[in-house]
Amino acid sequence: MNISMAQVVSPPTILVSVDTQTHKASSKPLKRTHKSNTSISTKRKVPRSPLDRTQKLNLEVSPHRAVSAVRLMRIELGGAFADLLNEKGKGSGDNEMAYVERSLGFRTKALDDRDLRLVTDVVGGAIRWRRYLDHLICSLCHDENTFRSMEPLLLQILRIGVYEIVKLDMPPYAVVDENVTLAKVALRPGAGNLVNGILRKLVRVKENNSLPLPKLEGDDRAQARALAILYSHPVWMVRRWTKYLGQEEAIKLMVWNNSQPSFSLRANTGKGVTRADLVTQLNVLKVPHELSLHLDDFIRVKTGLQNVIQAGLLKEGVCAVQDESAGLVVSVVDPQPGESIVDCCAAPGGKTMYMASRLNGQGMVYAIDINKGRLRILTETAKSHQVNSFITTIEADLRLFADSNVVNYDKVLLDAPCSGLGVLSKKADLRWNRRLEDLEQLKNLQDELLDAASLLVKPGGVLIYSTCSIDPEENEERVDAFLLRHPEFCIDPADRFVPSDFITKRGFYSSDPVKHSLDGAFAARLVRAL
């Protein structure tokens, strides 16, 4: 599902200068300003004094809070995606602390497993609840200008503290003291005083059950703004979902997006691993799990994914992390032995691997993607999954490839670049990197890719259009527009391939996060006339 998304949607990043040589603040205050291509600067070298070297290790600062603050800085200011960053950091306390040292100028005590779990919880929660947290912080400041001019690191420390007090119900005064210490060491005493004042005020209003939150009243616009704060989503998403779903269902969707995500593991049958084999390994690792209700190769895991990663089950190709909603898209494709199948925007390759594993040693999946680096990762993963003999990678822009290609294929899957509005539970920061205007750009791209993909389908073959979006303009409306342009295609109902609970009135596959407790996804089977 990757076709140079950076070229389609470019979220704003923020310039910040961090003195990485000492724990004191830079002489220039860190202001939040919008620039086009910036990240945390670590280039300036300043000779360290003996005093600086003795202060490099600070045992007073809570390690999970220092790491969380730096991760949040990297995500928000550097434009990194939270889930990808989290994968890189999992199980690697040394790696995390190296980032802390480079960004703040000191290390804390080593991270243990509990600290790493807390980092995951705090970072994910602070991102999901960002709008809510910022509203509380702004309300508790002396004036709005104090909040608006707050330097980025100080704001992240406050978000962590407010989240821990309000959403995690941690012992409040311990939270206050430890975040004050972090602000004083990482910035300056005055920053610690500000954190102390705001967090202590928060503790008082929380104990009095008088958090300064908006009331759900007024016209539709006013209610949308209130809901956007209460459930921490952009206003445009709230208005859009209220329009399509109604307010009650929109609230349920936002509650789902803010919940701790569960993950699914797919047993790698391409390597001969059965679901029973995977269950045995999870039992050995003492990872709680339950069997998928919809797919024979899948297992749901709520906690313990880090244990799976540390045990090497992913690296060795025993299993893959893949949501059942994506697995059901492959069920809609229905790969059969001997078929030639094109995966049009293949990287990172989850659906490619699953389709290849279902060919039973006969046939080929052609994985097309514009990103050479991601295709290389796909190839390496295919080797560990032992399905590389049934995958051929092609580095190309689908639109150019389709124009010059003379071969037609049995099935063509276009898992199109989309808004990702169905996966906001797992991709916590995605909600803040999407704008309403992006949908128009994406819809144009989706139409272009559908037209290109259709050229690859043989007479009597099948084109499958899928997204990880729940928005009808990216799903049903794109299919309708395509069928008007291409009367040689017609809808093939998907009810033969997935449970009826996932089938819409028009025969499309659709997973609903609230109804099915899965990521939101969509797929349409379109058959080309003979």
The residue type of 323 is: D
| Residue 476 pLDDT greater than 90, yes or no | yes
Summary mean pLDDT of the chain: 88
Please answer whether residues 73 and 152 qualify as being in contact, where contact means their C-beta atoms are separated by less than 8 angstroms.
yes
CATH of residue 475's domain is 3.40.50.150
Check whether residue 373 and residue 389 sit in a common domain.
yes
Instruction: Say whether pLDDT at 522 is over 90.
Output: yes
Task: Quote the tokens at residue 16.
Answer: 């910040």
Residue 215 inside a domain? The answer is no
Burial 494-522 (b: 16+ CB within 10 A, else e): beebbeeebbeeeebbbbbbbebebbbbb
Q: 117: pLDDT confidence band, cut at 50, 70 and 90? A: confident
Assess whether pLDDT exceeds 80 at residue 277.
Answer: yes
Return the closest-CA partner of residue 475 out of 515, 521, 516, 514: 521
Tell me how far apart the terminal alpha carbons of the chain are, to the nearest angstrom: 29
In a domain, 27, yes or no: no
Q: Are residues 195 and 249 in the same domain?
A: no
**Residues that constitute the known binding site:** 345-351, 369, 397, 415
Specify the CATH number for the domain of residue 304. Answer: 3.30.70.1170
Please report which confidence band the pLDDT of residue 496 belongs to, taking 50, 70 and 90 as the band edges.
very high
* Residue found under tokens 């279902």: 358
Q: Does 102 have pLDDT greater than 70?
A: yes
Q: Contact at 8 Å (CB) between 321 and 381?
A: no
Q: What pLDDT is stored for residue 82 in this prediction?
A: 53
pLDDT tens digits, residue range 424-437?
999 989 999 999 99
Give the pLDDT confidence score for residue 33 in this predicted structure: 37
Active-site pick, 141, 344, 418, 468: 468
471 in any annotated domain: yes
Q: Is residue 214 part of a domain?
A: no
Q: Which domain holds residue 107?
A: 50-207
Does 484 share its domain with 450? yes
Q: Which amino acids are annotated as binding site for S-adenosyl-L-methionine, given as ranges?
A: 345-351, 369, 397, 415
Whether 46 has a pLDDT exceeding 70, the answer reads no
Q: Are residues 279 and 305 both part of a single domain?
A: yes
> Residue 458 — φ and ψ, nearest 5°?
-75, 160
Find all residues with CB under 8 Å of 424, minimum gap 6, and list them: 257, 430, 431
pLDDT over 80 at 1, yes or no? no
Q: Is residue 82 part of a domain?
A: yes
**Residue 200 shares a structural domain with residue 235:** no
Residue 35's pLDDT band (cuts 50, 70, 90): very low
Segment 96-116 shows an average pLDDT of: 88
User: Would you state the structure tokens that stand for residue 375, as one six-digit string?
Assistant: 């295709």
Is 72 contained in some domain? Answer: yes
Q: Does any domain span residue 4? A: no
CB 22 within 8 A of CB 52: yes
The answer on pLDDT for 90 being more than 90 is no
Do 235 and 271 lie in a common domain? no
pTM given for the model? 0.86
Residue-level pLDDT at 86: 47
Tell me the pLDDT band of 99, cut-offs 50, 70 and 90: confident
Q: Where are the beta strands (DSSP E) in 312-421?
A: 319-321, 340-343, 364-369, 391-395, 409-415
Residues 245 and 393 in one domain: no
Q: Quick one: average pLDDT of 187-196? A: 97
Looking at the structure, do residues 126 and 96 belong to the same domain, yes or no?
Answer: yes
pLDDT digits (tens, 9 = 90+) for 299-331: 999 889 989 998 999 999 999 999 999 999 999
In this prediction, residue 143 carries a pLDDT of 87
344 carries an active-site annotation:
no
Residues 309 and 382 in one domain: no
For every residue of 142-166, DSSP letters joined together read SSHHHHHT--HHHHHHHHHHHHHHH
Number of domain units in the chain: 4
CA distances to 81, 482, 514 from 127, rounded to whole Å, are: 11, 37, 21
Which pLDDT score is estimated for 98? 84
